[in-house]
Amino acid sequence: MSDEKKVNEKTKQEQLEQYKVDDSNKKMTTNQGLKVSEDELSLTAGERGPTLMEDFHFREKMTHFDNERIPERVVHARGFAAHGYFEAYESMEQYTKAKFLSEPGKKTPTFTRFSTVVGQRGSTDIPRDVRGFATKFYTEEGNYDLVANNMPIFFIQDAMKFPDIVHAIKPEPHNEIPQATAAHDTFWDWAANNQESANQIMWLMSDRGIPKSFRTMEGFGINTFRFVNGEGKSHFVKFHWKPKLGVHSVVWDEAQKISGKNPDFNRQDLYDQIEMGNFPEWELGVQVIEEKDEFAFDFDILDATKFWPEEDVPVKIVGKLTLNRNVDNFFSETEQVAFHPGHVVPGIDFSNDPLLQGRLFSYTDTQLIRLMGPNFHEIPINRSVCPFHNNQREGYHRQTINKGPVAYHNNSLSNNHPKPATEAEGGYVHYEEKVEGRKIRRRSASFEDHFSQAKLFWNSMSPVERKHIIDAFSFEVGKVKSMNVRQQVVEMFANVDTELATAFATNIGSQPPSTTGSSVTKSSPAVSMANTVKTALTRKVGVIIKDGFNDTAVTDILHGLHANGIVYEIISGRQGMLKGTSGKELMVDHSFITTDSVLYDALYIVGGSDEDDEFQQNATYFVKEAFKHYKPIGATGAGAKLLDEYSMLGSPGVVSGNDQKFVNEFTEAIAAHRHWDRVIVTDK
């Protein structure tokens, strides 16, 4: 392999080598430890006779196989996870007595699972959907789970309605169609008749509904929690994960094509980047509101369909999450991990958010059926790093072997151990909130405004983001067969903005709305992805190249890109080695058949003197696709001629040259992510 092969990326063979285990001294056994002499042939009566029931090895092997599957999660079924650690930046003792937030530099091991909400385990990574972002902190005080999404609000205000929204958004029950999408009648019928969902749907129809990667997603705790400090003082709090790489998305045309080219796109990205040592990072931020200011805002802070604008309640950055190790076994870790917002530590407590209150029941309930009993906390990925002692016993999959005769509290035989801990000893004490009132089924009037924040979100969007939202509504609602439901949706979102509703009404063949949009003029620049971090770090560039390339110039440019933290893959008409003009060689990562333009953040077109018609056709397809998706494109040598042929040179984000200036300009173009001011060239 040539020196020009990127040094920060392992070859497939190198990746496989690290998993090799010396099994030379291990002999195959049954689950009972009995060594077996044959694992391919059943025990039969003669060579062509019937299989015998006494073949215990066959029965054990087949019975285990028949029972290997567990029920997938009702929601968030498709997920991917990694290990890491959380490092506190400063002490938060002013607000909370949680020890993992108690001192600067304190590190806590973590496990984070990303997921889509609607699709089944075998669905694509890139649907338009909300994403889960759940992190388990293995603290010295017990496990703490921050169960978040990539959007700060939810569809409903009360957990009582959770089964309804899930039933509506899942595939329709009569035919199990469509998979992993909200673009169908039952979801939009539910939305139009449950208008508290307006704010969440605006976020879902935005570019945040199709994130570029897990590494470029924000995370939000959604619900309102409490911080409680050592003096017993409480503050309301919301949690944020801020990606160090910024918040970025794909465009819808890309999302649909990626789903076909690589439905594992997001999980592949996370896995590969960790393997390469490009460890993803998010900073943890908190929004804090004093109890005395609970009613000081134009929204109810306990309403899960509302977010707290950062301009009103600033986000304080308190630490950093780093993911630095992939799982060893997907099923044992990613599939069996059990999160629960009720897994808290001293210093973190609950508010009266009605959605949160219902989640505190639902998560445990679903783990009991999915993981077959009450001992799911003993599965290694769920087990706390601190010891646990109580009088719980037995049940499915019990692993702890408790000694002694006592399994009850208030006893003399064991000197009344284990004893509850006092607050001073670290015992969890619930915040003493005064609660009174009649038992009723009624929501506060402060929860009744469903459209002001949806309009605030619309006001905050850039012109490009607004167009994408209109296009998303046009696609999603355009898939609805019922014209009545379509019209209901138009009328519903006219309450947000008349221009928005009129635009997608025209596109889906509905009547213009009869209602008038919200008069809210407030905006929150923090929610626009136009204002996010822009960096070229870890972006992936596809390098389209052929034999006879200028190896001296290309080598310098590839080294320059690598030095700027950019990952690249070599693409050509065939796999194997390519030879440059001076005899230097490059290893091809992908042929045109095994990859696609939509799988890269940018393209670098080199070409070569040995180009043929087939190479030209494939290179042209890749370039046009990337150009249409507003991606950065760089070109040198013969590649520049190709761009010039299609009038792309000089367009925003299209860079040509052969020197360090080219590297710098191309890096800047890559950092910008998309070049929305580009004029799309029609085919010749």
What whole-number distance in Å separates Cα of residue 418 and Cα of residue 407? 10
pLDDT digits 0-9 by tens, 192-235 = 999 999 999 999 999 999 999 999 999 999 999 999 999 999 99
Neighbours of 270 (CB within 10 A): 21
Interacting residues of 81 by C-beta distance below 8 A, sequence separation 6+: 111, 112, 113, 114, 327, 333, 334, 337
**pLDDT score for 4:** 40
pLDDT digits 0-9 by tens, 493-505 = 999 999 999 999 9
**Active-site residue set:** 76, 149
**635-655 mean pLDDT:** 93
pLDDT cut 90: percent of the chain above it: 88
**358-385 mean pLDDT:** 93
50: DSSP letter: P
**330-339 mean pLDDT:** 97
Alpha carbons within 13 angstroms on the beta-carbon side of residue 252 total: 20
Sign of the torsion formed by the C-alpha atoms of 6, 9, 10 and 11: negative
Take residue 565 and report the two structure tokens written for it.
């933290």
Take residue 545 and report the two structure tokens written for it.
């190249």
What whole-number distance in Å separates Cα of residue 59 and Cα of residue 70? 20
Strand, coil or helix: 665: helix
Q: Given a cut of 60, is residue 9 above it in pLDDT? A: no
342: DSSP letter: T
The residue count for the chain: 684
Domains and their CATH numbers in the chain: 79-378 (2.40.180.10), 448-530 (1.20.1370.20), 534-671 (3.40.50.880)
**300-306 mean pLDDT:** 98
What whole-number distance in Å separates Cα of residue 646 and Cα of residue 682? 9
**605-622 mean pLDDT:** 90
71: DSSP letter: P
pLDDT digits 0-9 by tens, 457-475 = 999 999 999 999 999 999 9
> Which pLDDT band, with edges at 50, 70 and 90, does 293 fall under?
very high
Alpha carbons within 13 angstroms on the beta-carbon side of residue 197 total: 22
**pLDDT score for 681:** 60
**pLDDT score for 270:** 98
∠ CA 231-234-239, rounded to 5°: 125
What whole-number distance in Å separates Cα of residue 465 and Cα of residue 207? 7
CA distances (Å), origin 224, targets 96, 241, 282, 356:
15, 15, 20, 8
**61-87 mean pLDDT:** 95
Residue 599 contacts residue 651 (beta carbons within 8 Å): no
pLDDT digits 0-9 by tens, 627-644 = 999 999 999 988 999 999
> Which pLDDT band, with edges at 50, 70 and 90, does 608 fall under?
confident
Question: What pTM was estimated for this model as a whole?
Answer: 0.94
**Closest CA relative to residue 226, chosen from 86, 88, 356:** 356
**pLDDT score for 12:** 47
Alpha carbons within 13 angstroms on the beta-carbon side of residue 443 total: 18
Helix 198-205 and helix 463-478, axial crossing angle in degrees, nearest 10: 110
Specify the higher pLDDT residue, 530 or 17.
530
Q: Given a cut of 90, is residue 554 above it in pLDDT? A: yes
Q: Where are the beta strands (DSSP E) in 34-130?
A: 79-88, 107-116
DSSP H or E stretch at residue 411: none
Neighbours of 526 (CB within 10 A): 14
Q: What is the largest CA-CA distance in the chain?
A: 90
**pLDDT score for 2:** 41
DSSP state string for 153-178: --S-SSGGGHHHHHHHHSPBTTTTBS
**Closest CA relative to residue 381, chosen from 68, 106, 67, 110:** 110
Q: Given a cut of 90, is residue 177 above it in pLDDT? A: yes
**536-548 mean pLDDT:** 96
> Which pLDDT band, with edges at 50, 70 and 90, does 15 fall under?
low
What whole-number distance in Å separates Cα of residue 395 and Cα of residue 82? 29
Look at strands 567-572 and 590-591 and give their pairing: parallel
Q: Which residue has the tokens 């998993």?
A: 19
> Which pLDDT band, with edges at 50, 70 and 90, does 611 fall under?
confident
DSSP lists the bridge partners of residue 604 as 543, 634
Residue 361 contacts residue 312 (beta carbons within 8 Å): no
**pLDDT score for 612:** 86
What whole-number distance in Å separates Cα of residue 226 and Cα of residue 242? 20
446: DSSP letter: G
**65-94 mean pLDDT:** 96
**pLDDT score for 5:** 42
What whole-number distance in Å separates Cα of residue 158 and Cα of residue 302? 11
Mean pLDDT in the chain? 94
> Which pLDDT band, with edges at 50, 70 and 90, does 104 fall under?
very high
Alpha helices in 495-600 (DSSP H): 498-508, 551-563
> Which pLDDT band, with edges at 50, 70 and 90, does 8 fall under?
very low
Interacting residues of 331 by C-beta distance below 8 A, sequence separation 6+: none
Take residue 227 and report the two structure tokens written for it.
């911080």
Residue 76 contacts residue 148 (beta carbons within 8 Å): no
What whole-number distance in Å separates Cα of residue 278 and Cα of residue 566? 10
pLDDT cut 70: percent of the chain above it: 96
**432-442 mean pLDDT:** 90
What whole-number distance in Å separates Cα of residue 213 and Cα of residue 255? 11
Interacting residues of 91 by C-beta distance below 8 A, sequence separation 6+: 101, 102, 103, 104
